[in-house]
Amino acid sequence: MLAIKKARKLIETNPSDPAAQIIARLVLALESATSISVAQLYQLDDKRFELALEILDEWRLDRHYASKLRLLDSSNLAQELEASAINPQLAPTA
């Protein structure tokens, strides 16, 4: 989450800066599952472009772990259902 903190600082420090606006659009696109033009990212200087790549990397890693957690939750639910089928007294109550 370090890249997001860097992005927030950049955006809050100078919201009218074109680089800050592009980074903000990137973050919003990732959060809302919309798109951003790669051409916009190419407008960034090297330092800001690296920040954009860090944001993408962290976002991708977070999505990976989130999907793993969903998989584990699904696995746990399947085990609970299997156990309740074997022993109805163990059935989860709602």
The residue-averaged pLDDT of 63-87 equals 64
User: Could you tell me the pTM of the whole model?
Assistant: 0.68
- How far is residue 84's CA from residue 78's CA, in Å, rounded to a whole number? 10
- How far is residue 56's CA from residue 69's CA, in Å, rounded to a whole number? 20
Could you read off the pLDDT of 15-26 as tens digits, one per residue?
999 999 999 999
Q: Looking at residue 57, what is its pLDDT?
A: 94
The residue-averaged pLDDT of 25-32 equals 94
The residue-averaged pLDDT of 24-38 equals 94
The residue-averaged pLDDT of 49-68 equals 84
Instruction: Report which secondary-structure segment, H or E, holds 92.
Output: none
Q: Looking at residue 61, what is its pLDDT?
A: 86
